């Protein structure tokens, strides 16, 4: 997952219920964070992610809809938000992390 001014991009558009470790890289010039809120997840978030840095957040996602946003300043109002729709009952498939490894990070 990447963040910059002022967007959030998910590397995998379709997710199924399961436990995920989201690896968030800040490709912007200013600090950002990432907040996830939805069924069974109450505002799980990363600390401030400085420019060029990476942070992680691990959550267990159930079937349903989750709000994802940056809570720094008015970044959410400027478009740093998205909605995750989690469906199906499969286990997550490993994806490539921003560092290029295939370590099961998202």
For residue 80, give the CATH number of its domain. 2.60.40.420
DSSP 8-state code for residue 82? E
* pLDDT reading at 18 higher than 70: yes
Do the domain assignments include residue 95?
no
Whether 9 maps to a domain, the answer reads yes
Q: How many domains does the chain have?
A: 1
pLDDT tens-place string over residues 41-68: 999 999 999 999 999 999 999 999 999 9
Whether 96 maps to a domain, the answer reads no
Residue 70 lies in a domain: yes
46 within some domain: yes
For residue 17, being part of any structural domain is answered with: yes
Whether 94 is in a domain gets the answer no
Structural domain that includes position 48: 2-86
In this predicted structure, what is the pLDDT of residue 12?
79
Task: Give tens-digit pLDDT for 84-93.
Answer: 999 865 444 3
- Per-residue model confidence (pLDDT) at position 99: 38
Give the list of residues 6+ apart from residue 18 with CB closer than 8 angstroms, or none.
Answer: 60, 61, 90, 91, 92
């Amino acid at each position: 997952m990447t963040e910059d001014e002022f967007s959030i991009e998910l590397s995998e558009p379709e997710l199924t219920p399961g436990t995920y470790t989201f690896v968030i890289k800040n490709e912007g010039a200013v600090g950002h964070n990432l907040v996830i809120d939805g069924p069974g997840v109450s505002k799980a978030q990363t600390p401030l992610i400085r420019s060029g840095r990476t942070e992680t957040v691990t959550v267990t996602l159930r079937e349903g809809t989750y709000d994802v946003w940056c809570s720094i300043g008015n970044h959410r109002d400027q478009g740093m938000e998205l909605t995750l729709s989690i469906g199906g009952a499969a286990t997550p498939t490993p994806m490539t992390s921003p560092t290029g490894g295939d370590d099961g990070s998202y």
